[in-house]
Structure 1
Amino acid sequence: MSILPAPPLRHVTDLTVTLDPIRHMNQGRAGVRRIIPIIGGSAKGPAINGRILNVGADWQTQFASGLTELDTRYAIETDDGATIEIKNYGYRHGPADVLDALVRGEDVRPDAYYMRTHARLETGDTRYDWVNHTLFVGNGARLNGLVQMSLFAID
């Protein structure tokens, strides 16, 4: 039994992140390394709407266990002209056959594997100052050429 209640989550935005082809780095110190350039996309939701800029990437490490560590940095230009940086860190894992299907670019149900992140957002635009002192969690899905991510503020 917890002495404190679980913090509520508030839906902020749904991201559709467009990706360039994977840049394979092969085996690194900790695992198989990949860089996946982030080249665009959209943000649509109750608190943040705009387009994802062509300025980021996901630096991934895949471990022998099948766990993939996700480490992304990219930015949104909101519909009203603010720029918001996103630093998103998380894990993707699941059954080997499901992960192999993802690598082949096949459609896989998002509930067939685990893809969760925690995110920090930052901006100098006072209209969105609240993102500078809010933590976020994300629920994601990898599709062929894109990632879908729903971000929730931890209130």
Structure 2
Amino acid sequence: MSGPKLAGEVLPGGGDWQVILPGGLTSIEARYFLKVADGTVIEVTNPGVRTAAPEVIEKLAKGENVDPSAYYFRTTPRFSVKAGPHEWLRRQVFVARGIRKPDSVVIDFYSVE
């Protein structure tokens, strides 16, 4: 993971839970840990939703590559981190856009100013 204010890696062992609901709605909750360049470990709780037409959901379920403009995938991440240089993460609100790849998920985080 990398960005203008933070760089590091997603640690193994996190998890995500999805509840697939009628009408193309998927409720998502992911929990995982980031280890940033200075060694700080940050806990991430990332709830959200993904919506799509039935044919798009079918392609995603099959692991096919789908253009992100074909579905809506947004989350509202929260960060737990000890006091120090990354404490700013607890003092801002974030939204994120998810992109479902065949073998992974890419999440772009944005601070709401």
Q: TM-score, normalised by structure 1?
A: 0.70
Q: Distance in 2 between matches of 1:67 and 1:126?
A: 38
CA drift of 1:95 comes to 1.1
Secondary structure in structure 1 of the residue aligned to 2:34:
strand
Q: Which consecutive unaligned segments of at least 5 residues does structure 2 have?
A: none
Identify which of 76, 80, 83 aligns with 2:41: 83
Please identify runs of 4+ aligned residues in structure 1 that moved more than 3 A. none
Identify which of 76, 82, 104 aligns with 1:124: 82
Q: 1:92 maps to which residue? A: 50
RMSD: 0.9
Amino acid at match of 2:85: R
Higher relative contact order (CA 8 A, sep 6+): 1
Identify which of 144, 149, 152 aligns with 2:102: 144
Amino acid at match of 1:45: G
CA drift of 1:55 comes to 2.4
Q: Within 5 Å, which residues of 2 pair with 1:37-56?
A: 43-56=1-14
CA drift of 1:58 comes to 0.7
Secondary structure in structure 1 of the residue aligned to 2:24:
coil
Identity of aligned pairs, percent? 34
Secondary structure in structure 1 of the residue aligned to 2:76:
strand
Amino acid at match of 2:26: T
Q: 1:111 maps to which residue? A: 69
Say if 1:53 and 1:74, in contact at 8 Å, map to a contact too: yes
Larger fraction in helix: 2
Amino acid at match of 1:62: I
Secondary structure in structure 2 of the residue aligned to 1:105:
coil
Q: Distance in 2 between matches of 1:128 and 1:79?
A: 11
Amino acid at match of 2:19: T
CA drift of 1:133 comes to 1.5
Q: Which consecutive unaligned segments of at least 5 residues does structure 1 have?
A: 1-42
Say if 1:116 and 1:140, in contact at 8 Å, map to a contact too: yes
Q: Distance in 2 between matches of 1:154 and 1:86?
A: 17
1:101 lines up with 2:59 in the alignment: yes
Say if 1:83 and 1:125, in contact at 8 Å, map to a contact too: no
State the Cα deviation string for residues 53-79 of structure 1 (Å, max 9, x = none).
Answer: 012111110012220001011010001
Larger fraction in strand: 1
Q: Within 5 Å, which residues of 2 pair with 1:26-41?
A: none
